[in-house]
A and B are shown apart, each in its own frame.
Chain A
């Protein structure tokens, strides 16, 4: 056995990053219940250290280094190894950065909580495990990180085991976890049989060399999709995520920022295998699209803040998986990083809902515009948004070597339209039109530039598609379905009601299985004390 380092001392930095959160987690397990303050402080400090490591690695990577460490056999085959390529450092920055924020938040938020040590134990393990998923060079390494992350989630969800809903959340996650992990490990075993303990980065070459369309390759690709969808709470694994709200807010923040998007990370890292099968990409696209429509529709019916965030995540993760299905991996990466920060912030700040409501009441009344003006405003908003996004894309896209389909720009265009319309609706003056034009152009340009810059940065490390990619036209039914919801309430009441009840009901976690008709014998078995009386109420 040999230990090989790449990128000089940066390899050590990478190893430290991987190990330190795990050590803090271990300390929490051992001494966290006796010295909660110390355990929390240690966890926060270590995750900060990990974040600084990630920053160092990012700089090194930008300078062209490739920090790597591996354990190789005498023959030079990699047994276990880690590497921080461009995609890797972006994800490491995300994982450690979000962990640092959430753990620092939790140190105050969970103060005095007798179970706080469980959080820090789980959070440390999760950070290390996710870093392992992101950096492992072997399939086995990825799968070990994957399973460890699942274990971390179980620990985190079991923070308040005395709450029945929390136990229910653990059970539901564990079910998805078992199926997803079994699928992934099955894929890993198949791959080991086919290619040996192969470097993830060179799988693409092997597949191309061996002729892509082997049934076994198809199998591996499909089980990877199953694992990804299970972790991302896409259908048919959509039941676990909504049942996790009985865990404290910081757990939700971690879950929505660093666990569910692991599905996307897996598909990106294993894209050579995943894209080798059109069946797999089609499954990913369809399940992703389904989750996107289902999640966002249910979100609209949720009256509770966190419930609404949960279903929003489900939709967003569907969008991410769908994007992967289209082979647009830069777009998927961009989405999963931005969404992680977006959602963890919204979760941590979910207690501000009442203050926001107070502000809304106290805000200056908006001026209502007449019908003619509304028509004018909406057409202006549509034209402006389309122009802004199209102009930005036209100006900036050619500068990058992105292979992502431009069809995905329909989504930012829709966002720009909504924002422009809502902004103009209340202040329909020439001045505000100019402001809107300026801001929207600036916004679209920055957005496209940011996507392009990320593409440029990670481009060399993204393996890219092996097989044929799906047609972007597949997006059109999805967009239509998403658009359809906005006109639902205009449909006849009968249809509206029926759709509403189905969607609303789908968003309600059922804690109890529906009872069968009470069988006679069980009735007869009722003990005396179970029969009436009715008295005794206060």
Chain B
């Protein structure tokens, strides 16, 4: 074994560079309390989607649904023959000009043959992980042991801040702490302990030593480390996040531990592993065109001679086996997309020039579509869609004065501090409220201290068990009553003091003015202001749900977005800001009042906030709006109850509203709401495009008016920020559905919160990433239809092309097929599909009906 002395700085630097390269391909996993939807394949976005799917297939992961699913979707009419034909024509443009093929005594067109093969031919086999670590080659016991030890130490280190008896030395960084402790581990055999005693001081040296000991050839080193990183992808993704945010734990330290364990367990004799010739590992069902042709002939009972077989094989070769599932996906998506675009092709709704009763801006979140639709049905309310942080990236501290939270998309650093303060004259009430919160925190502190103390934990269980039993009964049998009781105790419901936000201190005038101008322009709201303009943030009230952040506002870092809405409203009500806006051509009438709202997506209640600030002249407007919001929410609840598992069907509006409230307070409920399940498209355009349509809460809606945004700045902003977030969400849902074990979090029922940063399935093993089974399915049937995002823009196509041409991020997403893009220049114009080669008509000639 070579030692540290042999190694130059160069080889260590090279190793660091290689690990950094590996790290760049890993999507970081945010801690679960700020659950951030990400594309788990974001590291592969520079490849076309189809190639990325093949690449992850090599690691045993699934990137697209299996053939069995597609065929059953075809059988129930969700994919039609026309969809398949369209998808084949797009993939093989010349397919219709090919001569027919003789098959069973008839001339069959290539398209028909390909469809027959898709429906009845050989299915490609499931992906299998072929790359193996040395430990796996020796046996599953060794590989499993390496994983066990890895999980043990990684959880101990990551969990140190939340564990009563923390890992000693964890403040010195992972590798150092582990190296000190690992040699004392009684659970490993003495010969392994002896090996570990010789561990070098730096992680680079440890990795290099271990790789030497395992005789991994230099040219395969990176792939080898990659294989190790693929073994526990959840923990690796968390470490990847930690690298950027804490810096005490990186992939090098992680690899140093894993490889050292592996080398020590296998021992010095690895001669059998040195056989670096690449052997072809192809196994499974034969999928060559000749096999497929023979199989097809056999299925139809046609005896084929050699020349016919050749002909059929030649036709089938146009669609290699690896491309089949991609084609199915295209057809599946096309079915939905064609329908959606046709429904948008209506005679343009007449723009009503009269002043609306109120205007409400909701988050672009697909769930807003439901409440907007139902609200618009009830009256002259006009709605808008805008990113739920309302373009104010703030660090927010509420009245209690605890740790501030960043309320903005995670890729933005919050720029402004906003604090909640008691409204003038209510300081005493506010103080009482904070005192009450402090008392509750102290009680809970005292309970936890007694629970985590060896001597006091016994009688604590005896003393509080009786109470706990009562609480459990209340929470189980009357969730709503319990939640009311609890909010009474905390004073949230009854004694909430009126507060104001420190907007003047948090923002300079220039910041406020710029924000107001940009936000209103992006929304397309620069004229015709109503007397009330509501900016409505959202969040979800759920109980006993580690994934609650996944249901909150993604644009607010997985938190409730109300403080952002309150901040934005406060800025827009400022007289200085309004004076500035007039100079910019945005004239907000004096009788327009901005007000913040909060949409609870679990209960569909919309509350209007800061009512103590509303001028007396507007009280009646507020009252009218509140009553319509209540009705709209109840009607939406009826709609939602139809698909919520276990919800009674055919409920009255009042009963449905009650049911969703009970559900949201129920600690045994694993389906409190469907979140963004079903999301499939992102519409950028005025509400007139979608007004009056039932989009089934599947579409992100961002308001945009191409007339106002002549230079395309707003459109560029929308495409590069909200649309990208929507794509992350879409990809998260997509991959959590197609591979629930690898990219999803598995079933909620065995989840076990660990280290305060994520969940395990059971007592040990990998950190789960992505969404749980219960977010996308009920039992075996899918609730989320796994489709990639379709972005629909109503704007001049040259403007869109220009933006894409100068934005590499958008080129990557659109050109590589991660997101589809379609546009029309103006209402009534035909839809065009974006392709890397240029715009192509979406519907063929004569197909527009």
A374 within 8 A of B: no
State whether B230 touches A538 (Cβ < 8 A).
yes
Q: Which residues of A contact B666 (CB under 8 A)?
A: 108
Q: Which residues of B contact A340 (CB under 8 A)?
A: 465
Bound together, the chains give a CA A497 to CA B441 distance in angstroms of 32
How far apart are B249's CB and chain A's nearest CB, in angstroms?
14
Bound together, the chains give a CA A281 to CA B267 distance in angstroms of 48
Bound together, the chains give a CA A504 to CA B563 distance in angstroms of 42
Knowing A450-B466, A510-B148, A537-B223 touch, does A300 contact B168 (C-beta < 8 A)? no
Binds A, one of B328-336, B543-551, B800-808: B543-551
A398 within 8 A of B: no
State whether B761 touches A304 (Cβ < 8 A).
no
Q: Which residues of A contact B398 (CB under 8 A)?
A: 362
Q: Identify which of A421, A422, A498 gathers the most chain B CB atoms within 10 Å of its CB.
A: A422
State whether A419 touches B272 (Cβ < 8 A).
no
State whether B453 touches A486 (Cβ < 8 A).
yes
A483 within 8 A of B: yes
How far apart are A282's CB and chain B's nearest CB, in angstroms?
21
How far apart are A255's CB and chain B's nearest CB, in angstroms?
13
Q: Which residues of B contact A296 (CB under 8 A)?
A: 454, 457
State whether B465 touches A339 (Cβ < 8 A).
yes
Q: Which residues of A contact B608 (CB under 8 A)?
A: none
State whether B276 touches A534 (Cβ < 8 A).
yes
Q: Chain A contact residues: over half helix, strand or loop, or mixed? A: helix
B306 within 8 A of A: no
A191 within 8 A of B: no
A231 within 8 A of B: no
- What is the 8 Å Cβ interface bit string for chain B, positions 33-55, against chain A (1 contact, 0 not)? 10000000000100000000001
How far apart are A529's CB and chain B's nearest CB, in angstroms?
6
- What is the 8 Å Cβ interface bit string for chain A, positions 333-352, against chain B (1 contact, 0 not)? 01101111111111011111
State whether A303 touches B276 (Cβ < 8 A).
no
How far apart are A166's CB and chain B's nearest CB, in angstroms?
7
State whether B458 touches A248 (Cβ < 8 A).
no
The chain B residue with its CB closest to the CB of A293 is B454
Interface set, chain A 71-108, CB cutoff 8 A to B: 97-98, 101, 104-108
Interface set, chain A 244-273, CB cutoff 8 A to B: 244-250
State whether B762 touches A530 (Cβ < 8 A).
no
State whether A498 touches B184 (Cβ < 8 A).
yes
State whether B468 touches A505 (Cβ < 8 A).
no
State whether B461 touches A248 (Cβ < 8 A).
no
How far apart are B387's CB and chain A's nearest CB, in angstroms?
23
The chain A residue with its CB closest to the CB of B223 is A537
Q: Which residues of A contact B544 (CB under 8 A)?
A: 348-352, 355
Bound together, the chains give a CA A111 to CA B137 distance in angstroms of 41
- What is the 8 Å Cβ interface bit string for chain A, positions 510-526, against chain B (1 contact, 0 not)? 11111101101011101
Q: Which residues of A contact B549 (CB under 8 A)?
A: 354
Knowing A341-B469, A351-B546, A502-B186 touch, does A303 contact B754 (C-beta < 8 A)? yes
Q: Which residues of A contact B55 (CB under 8 A)?
A: 538
How far apart are A485's CB and chain B's nearest CB, in angstroms?
5
Bound together, the chains give a CA A160 to CA B267 distance in angstroms of 36
Bound together, the chains give a CA A535 to CA B548 distance in angstroms of 40
Interface set, chain B 433-464, CB cutoff 8 A to A: 434, 437-447, 449-464
Q: Which residues of A contact B677 (CB under 8 A)?
A: none
A411 within 8 A of B: yes
The chain B residue with its CB closest to the CB of A436 is B446
Q: Identify which of B446, B454, B760 gathers the most chain A CB atoms within 10 Å of its CB.
A: B454
Q: How many A-B residue pairs have CB under 8 A?
A: 425
State whether B402 touches A341 (Cβ < 8 A).
no
Q: Which residues of A contact B33 (CB under 8 A)?
A: 354, 357-358
How far apart are A111's CB and chain B's nearest CB, in angstroms?
5
- What is the 8 Å Cβ interface bit string for chain A, positions 356-397, against chain B (1 contact, 0 not)? 111111111110000000000000000000000000000000
Bound together, the chains give a CA A128 to CA B756 distance in angstroms of 38
State whether A112 touches B778 (Cβ < 8 A).
yes
Q: Which residues of A contact B571 (CB under 8 A)?
A: none
Bound together, the chains give a CA A266 to CA B143 distance in angstroms of 42
State whether B438 touches A535 (Cβ < 8 A).
no
Q: Which residues of A contact B180 (CB under 8 A)?
A: 497
Binds B, one of A17-25, A176-184, A221-229, A305-313: A305-313
User: Which of B138, B188, B442 interacts with A423 by CB under 8 Å?
Assistant: B442
State whether B749 touches A109 (Cβ < 8 A).
yes
Bound together, the chains give a CA A514 to CA B186 distance in angstroms of 12
State whether B763 touches A335 (Cβ < 8 A).
no
Q: Which residues of B contact A310 (CB under 8 A)?
A: 763
State whether B762 touches A483 (Cβ < 8 A).
no
State whether A105 touches B668 (Cβ < 8 A).
yes
State whether B461 touches A342 (Cβ < 8 A).
yes
A443 within 8 A of B: yes
Knowing A345-B471, A414-B459, A529-B279 touch, does A537 contact B58 (C-beta < 8 A)? yes
State whether A511 touches B220 (Cβ < 8 A).
no
Q: Which residues of A contact B169 (CB under 8 A)?
A: 493, 497
Q: Identify which of A104, A528, A535 gathers the most chain B CB atoms within 10 Å of its CB.
A: A535
Bound together, the chains give a CA A358 to CA B159 distance in angstroms of 16
State whether A411 touches B668 (Cβ < 8 A).
no
User: Which of A357, A361, A482 interacts with B454 by CB under 8 Å?
Assistant: A482
User: Which of A488, A497, A537 interacts with B59 by CB under 8 Å?
Assistant: A537
Knowing A501-B185, A517-B191, A537-B226 touch, does A348 contact B44 (C-beta < 8 A)? no
Q: Which residues of A contact B186 (CB under 8 A)?
A: 501-502, 505
B472 within 8 A of A: yes
A243 within 8 A of B: yes
How far apart are B151's CB and chain A's nearest CB, in angstroms?
8
Interface set, chain B 119-148, CB cutoff 8 A to A: 130-132, 137-142, 144-145, 148
Instruction: Name 22 interchain pairs, CB-CB below 8 A, sorted by A.
Output: A101-B472, A112-B645, A160-B747, A249-B750, A303-B162, A304-B753, A334-B462, A335-B461, A338-B466, A339-B462, A348-B476, A360-B444, A362-B400, A366-B445, A412-B463, A419-B456, A505-B186, A508-B764, A509-B763, A531-B272, A537-B224, A538-B25
- Interface residues of chain B, those whose CB is within 8 Å of chain A, are 25, 32-33, 44, 55-56, 58-59, 130-132, 137-142, 144-145, 148, 152, 155-156, 158-160, 162-165, 167-169, 180-181, 184-189, 191, 216-217, 220, 223-224, 226-227, 230, 265-267, 269, 272-279, 281, 398, 400-403, 405, 434, 437-447, 449-466, 468-469, 471-473, 475-477, 543-546, 548-549, 645-646, 666-671, 747-756, 760-765, 774, 777-780
A-B complex: 4 closest residue pairs judged by Cβ atoms = A303-B159, A338-B465, A341-B469, A245-B763
Given contacts A300-B163, A426-B438, 12 further A-B contacts (CB under 8 A): A104-B476, A306-B753, A414-B455, A447-B459, A497-B181, A505-B186, A511-B148, A512-B148, A514-B189, A518-B142, A532-B279, A534-B131
